[in-house]
Structure 1
Amino acid sequence: MKPLEFTDFSEFKLMLGKELPTGNWYTITQEMINNFANATLDKQWIHIDEKRAEKESPFKSTVAHGFMSVAMISRMLEEAFTIKSVKMGLNYGINKVRFPSPVPVNSELRMLSSVKEIEELANNGIKVTFSCTIEIKGQQKPACVAEFIAALFE
């Protein structure tokens, strides 16, 4: 999938209230889960102990950390659009984060998103709120729903 391309903020602002392109599917491997566990120091057995999870977990396998799906939002948004004039982007915040469904190892995730709000910032910037839903292939309930906020600067 090719991302939407915008020359500058004035073009991008026309996306307010509209959906962005749906992203690619990502397979969540045990290696990815282990790397996230090591980076965040969250080594709870439901994430990293495959044998124990198979026997004791209600999910019958390891599951990804909820915040791992949140951490993937920035990358998934990069797949949806680019603004050529942007020199720098920052993660500004996240509102209304929910994890309706666990993400078992080897699940495939992708994101649906739309532009909910755009506010002007100082220093040639805008603050963009995206409505994000991270889907799990083959499941009705999503892995994550959130309002992701980015600060972008020209």
Structure 2
Amino acid sequence: MSVLVIRSFEDFEKFNGQDLGTSDYFRITQNQINLFADATHDHQWIHCDPERAKKEGAFGNTIAHGYLTLSIVPHLWDQIVKVENLKMMINYGIETLRFAQAVTVDSEVRLAAKLKNVANLRGTVKAEVEVKLEIKDQKKPAFTGVLVFLYHFH
């Protein structure tokens, strides 16, 4: 897989409206789920109690927190696009985020990204990226949404 390198607004502009690529698959483990539960103080049994989740849960196993799946986006995004020549990057917002499918423990997910729009705001590049977190062997994605980044180039 090749990583797309962006070094300026003009580089971004070339890909406006186009698919940017897809990351490698990433496995969600019970250890990651437990660590995320510790970090967020969200120890709901559907995430942290494998025995109860198997017996009582709707998914046959524990599931990742929705926000855990969202939190791996930077790791997966870096496998799709490498933005160089930066002074700073800011996560500006998330639009229309929808969690569509639970991610069960040991599932593999990957990020697909499309540049919805890019604008030059007096030297700051605003990139709106449509994302979809795909679950291996599942038709429905874990989530879809539009992430908004601000890039300040040198």
Alpha-carbon contact 1:12-1:83 (below 8 Å) kept: no
Q: Structure 1's 33 and 143: CA in aligned 2 closer, same or farther, altered over 3 A?
A: same
Match of 1:10 in 2: 10
Match of 2:93 in 1: 93
Match of 2:49 in 1: 49
TM-score normalised over the length of structure 2 = 0.94
**CA displacement, residues 68-115 of structure 1 (integer Å, 9 cap, x when unaligned):** 111122222111112321222111111111111100000000011100
Match of 2:147 in 1: 148
Match of 2:124 in 1: 125
How many Å separate the matches in 2 of 1:16 and 1:46?
Answer: 40
**CA displacement, residues 22-79 of structure 1 (integer Å, 9 cap, x when unaligned):** 1100000001111111111111110011111111101111000111111122222111
TM-score normalised over the length of structure 1 = 0.94
In structure 2, runs of 5+ residues without a counterpart are none
How many Å separate the matches in 2 of 1:83 and 1:63?
Answer: 32
How many Å separate the matches in 2 of 1:62 and 1:83?
Answer: 35
Aligned residue identity for 1:29: T
Shift of 1:144: 0.6
Match of 1:29 in 2: 29
Shift of 1:132: 0.4
**Identity percentage of aligned residues:** 35
In structure 1, runs of 5+ residues without a counterpart are none
Shift of 1:151: 1.1
Alpha-carbon contact 1:9-1:83 (below 8 Å) kept: no
Q: Which is richer in strand? A: 2
SS at match of 1:21: strand
How many Å separate the matches in 2 of 1:7 and 1:152?
Answer: 10
Match of 1:78 in 2: 78
> How many residues are treated as equivalent by the alignment?
153
Alpha-carbon contact 2:12-2:118 (below 8 Å) kept: no
How many Å separate the matches in 2 of 1:103 and 1:83?
Answer: 29
